Amino acid sequence: MTRLGRKLQTFASYLAAPVVMVLLGASVAQAQAPPVCSVWLIESSRFMKVPFGAFMPDRAFVPGSTDKNNNIPTVDLPVNVGVIKCGSDLILYDTGWKQQDYLKMTGSEHWAPIGEQLKVLGFNAGDVTKAVIGHAHWDHAGQLSDLPNAVLYVQKQELAAIEWALNYPEKHIRAINSDPGGCNRTPACGYMPLTMEEVYGKVLKGKAVVVDGQLEIAPGVIIHPAYRAHTAGSQLLEVPTSIGKLVFGSDAFSSYEAIRDWMVANVQQTDSVQQFLAYERCYKITGGYENCIAAHEPLSYTDKYPITKNSWVALNGGRMAEIALAPGEKSRKP
Amino acid sequence: MAAALIVCPRGACVVRISAPREHRCVDRAAIAGVTSLNTSDTAFARERPIPTIGVPGPRPILLTSTVLVLVALVVLAWQHEQRLGTPTPVQATSQKPEPRALSAEEESYAASLWEIHREVTPSAVAMSFAGIVYETGSRDKDQFERKISPVAAFFKGAEARVRGLPVPASLLQVHNQYLDALVLYGKASNGMLEFAKDGERQHLVEAHDLHISASQAILRAGEVLWPGQYKPH
């Protein structure tokens, strides 16, 4: 090879090296970037005509008031369940509850079994690989036995707090229900036997992960603890999507309007300071409040809660929304 | 918006177009489809009717069509607004029965049973937690037995106490349902104790199924006796 040829070869290798490095870097970055997920929201059921003040104290109805915060007497509260498809994983965030005939009098309507609702979206109950419960109250952690292949994710603090309350000597504090009219905020309130036995059923079958703090359960899908934001072991779920990151909050995010307006909502075993810190977590992760997914927002499935507006009426009058689709994912909206 | 009224006495149709501020007085016979029309408003009475023979002419047809199109537009707009606004249930799931008010005798029974029930629910949940703690932590059968033994004793005593309650005839079915639940809880706790002795996990699986059945049964009974016991959470 001539001198000129060698020089040209050297020059070419110098030129090629950075190009190869850039290409390698890009492919590595592509491999490391978490894939985005597809997300739908389904209404497990709807609590009808709940006094607004019982849901949000700052929105309590004042007869004759013209203040928009105090002129609505009752609201209908959906019980929202997140359906999240990430690659081969099908994840539920909260699992609703199993309304049987005997619970129709509790003031709820539009219930349909979780398996039937998943079929509307083209999935089967057996396809669910993971069930993350935001907390273990009866209207959020039911139907677990109908998800035979799902691994349950529950926060360690949630279980510890229930066990603590059960062993407390004062009978009102250890009561699941403190009186026949129902409990509101006592420590074990809301953890009914059927729900807790279903949680135990998952543990017994080796299909439960007791989470202690933060945990990434799929690429980019991250459980964040939100201790005492609704219950002792509340947990949020961060989900990467084509429209940005979403954060599901269960009852730590009971109301979209509450997150937007910085008000407490659905105060049960809630430390209001921690609830606000959970709101802040969503603002930080998603860059605002629009991508915070609330469990009981009365405006769900309307354009007044924009992320849920791409909605339709499905089984038994219950509603569904298609929130985000991953590239190549087909729309499930009829 | 204009309103159209088409009256066809003996085959000859009359179309009247009126503005809403105009007062019309149509007698019952006209509403029922009988061919008579009375008017008490003089302005309306002075309106010149459009006479037709058999088939309405093009003008009434045009006017009627315009009115129908306007009505259809209003209906469509209303439906559109309904979809955009706070939704109302599209279809009711079922007729929601109102809880029947209990008689004084029934109230007395419900109050007596509540005193037992308020300890039944935490005891049932305590069984679940003994299992959860065993499976996720200690794997200590002695500790597991120490947790289940008092629960098993409680359910035995609770069953006896419930059997001793005076039961109104109207609540006998509910009473028996509650008793069945206590029996199932008792069997479940005994099954868990057997596991503590022989380590056979099938006892735990069977106990779990019994617990689920019992928990559903006390919900059904509770729905009659204490319908507000679970609130939205």
- CA angle in degrees (0–180, nearest 5) for A262-A95-A202: 125
Nearest Cβ partner for A200 among B128, B218, B231: B128
> How would residue A33 be classed by pLDDT, with cut points 50, 70 and 90?
low
Total Cβ atoms within 10 A of residue A91: 25
pLDDT at B228 over 90: no
Average pLDDT value for residue range A238-255: 98
Q: Quick one: pLDDT at residue A6?
A: 65
Answer with the residue of higher pLDDT: B36 or A239: A239
The single residue listed with the structure tokens 């045009």 is B62
pLDDT at A268 over 90: no
CB B217 within 8 A of CB B185: no
Shortest alpha-carbon distance between residue A86 and chain B (Å): 28
Token pair belonging to A239:
């989900």
The closest alpha carbon to B115, from A102, A142, A177, belongs to: A177
Question: Per-residue pLDDT for A299 more than 90?
Answer: yes
Q: In terms of DSSP bridges, do strands A130-132 and A89-93 run parallel, antiparallel, or are they unpaired?
A: parallel
> Which is higher by pLDDT, B41 or A261?
A261
Measured distance CA(A253)–CA(A276) in Å, rounded: 9
Angstrom distance (rounded) from CA A181 to CA A176: 12
Going by pLDDT thresholds of 50, 70 and 90, the confidence category of residue B138 is confident
Angle between helix A193-204 and B202-225 (nearest 10): 160
Q: Which residue of B86, B115, B128 to mutate against A (max A Cβ within 10 Å)?
A: B128
CB contact under 8 A, B233 and A190: yes
Smallest CA–CA distance, residue A133 to chain B, in Å, is 14
pLDDT at A128: 98
Other residues' Cβ atoms within 10 Å of the Cβ of residue A99: 22
pLDDT of residue B97: 56
Single-letter amino acid, residue B73: L
Specify the pLDDT at position B13. 40
CA distance B172 to B162: 12
DSSP bridge partners of B5: B16
- Residue showing tokens 């999935």: A123
Least confident of A101-115, B51-65, B120-134: B51-65
Per-chain mean pLDDT for chain A: 91
Tokens 């380590």 -> residue: B199
Q: Which residues of A touch B119 (CB under 8 A)?
A: 171
Q: By the 8 A CB rule, do A59 and A50 touch? A: no
Chain A positions in Cβ-Cβ contact with residue B226 (cut-off 8 Å): 177, 180-181
For the cut 50, the answer to whether the pLDDT of residue A250 exceeds it is yes
What Cα–Cα distance (Å) separates residue B96 from each residue in A109, A110, A241, B90, B127? 8, 11, 39, 16, 34
* Tokens found for residue A56: 């949000």
Across the A:B interface, residue pairs with CB atoms under 8 Å apart total 167
Helices (H), A106-255: 114-120, 156-166, 171-174, 193-204
Select from A85, A146, A153, A152 the least CA-distant residue to A323.
Answer: A85
Q: What is the pLDDT of residues A129-170, one digit of tens each?
A: 999 999 999 999 999 999 999 999 999 999 999 999 999 999
Residues of chain B with pLDDT > 90, as a percent, come to: 49
Contact between B204 and A190 using a beta-carbon 8 Å cutoff: no
Partners of A183 on chain B (C-beta within 8 Å) are 231
Sign of the CA dihedral running B219, B225, B227, B229: negative
Q: For chain A, how far is it from start to end, CA to CA, in angstroms?
A: 68
Residue with tokens 């707090």, as numbered in its chain: A161
Contacts of A166 in chain B (CB under 8 A): 122, 125-126, 129
Residues in B touching A137 (Cβ below 8 Å):
233
Instruction: Please tell me the predicted confidence (pLDDT) of residue B102.
Output: 85
Residue carrying structure tokens 């129709």 = A104
Inter-chain touch B125–A316, beta carbons under 8 Å? no
Question: Which chain B residues are closer than 8 Å to A185 by Cβ?
Answer: none
Q: What is the pLDDT of residue B229?
A: 77
Using CA atoms, how far apart are residues A6 and A15, in angstroms rounded to an integer?
A: 14
Nearest CA in chain B to A209: B136
Strand boundaries in B113-214, DSSP class E: none
Residue B230's pLDDT is what?
75
Residue B26 CB contacts under 8 Å (≥ 6 apart), including other chains:
B5, B37, B38
How many residues can be counted in chain A?
334
Torsion angle of C-alpha atoms A30, A213, A199, A129, degrees rounded to 10: 0
Give the chain A residue whose CA is nearest to the CA of B110.
Answer: A180
Q: What is the mean pLDDT of residues A295-310?
A: 98
Distance from CA of A142 to the nearest CA of B (A): 12
Output the pLDDT for position B16: 41
CB contact under 8 A, B128 and A197: yes
A197–B219 CB contact, under 8 Å: no
From B65's Cα to the closest Cα of chain A, the distance in A is 33
Q: Residue A27: what pLDDT?
A: 52
**Encoding tokens for residue B112?**
């007596």
pLDDT at A259: 98
Pairing of strands A108-109, B14-18: unpaired
Contact check, Cβ <8 Å, B216/A145? no
Cβ-defined contact of A199 to B132 (cutoff 8 Å): yes
Higher-pLDDT residue of A174, B35:
A174
Paired tokens of B47:
């309106």
CB-CB: which of A166, A203, A319 is closest to B122? A166
pLDDT in tens, A187-227: 998 899 999 999 999 999 999 999 999 999 999 999 999 99
ipTM associated with this complex: 0.86
b/e A111-149 (16+ beta carbons within 10 angstroms → b)? bbbbeebbebbebebeebbbbbbbbbbbbbbbbbbbbee
B76-123 pLDDT, tens digit per residue, is 766 654 444 443 333 334 445 566 788 999 999 999 999 999 999 999
Q: Is B102 helix (H, G, I), strand (E, B) or coil?
A: coil
Tell me, yes or no, if the pTM score tops 0.90.
Answer: no
pLDDT in tens, B150-201: 999 999 999 999 999 999 999 999 999 999 999 999 999 999 999 999 999 9
Q: Which of A56, A197, A203, A303 to mutate to test the interface with B (most CBs of B within 10 A)?
A: A197
Interchain pair B85, A138: CB under 8 A: no
The rounded mean pLDDT for chain B is: 74
Nearest Cα neighbor of A272 from A205, A305, A226 is A226
Contact A111 B93 (CB under 8 A): yes
List pLDDT tens digits, range A85-124: 999 999 999 999 987 766 766 678 999 999 999 999 999 9
Residue A194 with chain B: CB contacts under 8 Å: 212, 215-216, 219
- Partner residue opposite A177 with nearest CB, options B84, B211, B229: B229
* Residues of chain A contacting B110 with CB distance shorter than 8 Å: 180
Q: Are A193 and B125 in contact (CB under 8 A)?
A: yes
Contact B91 A197 (CB under 8 A): no
Burial of B38 (0-12, 13-18, 19+ CB in 10 A): exposed
Is pLDDT larger for residue A10 or for residue B206? B206
Residues on chain B touching A201 (C-beta within 8 angstroms): 208, 212
Place A12 in a pLDDT band, splitting at 50, 70 and 90.
low
Would you say residue B37 has pLDDT above 60?
no
Query: Using CA atoms, how far apart are residues B4 and A266, in angstroms rounded to an integer?
Result: 52
Lookup: tokens for A210: 């007791």
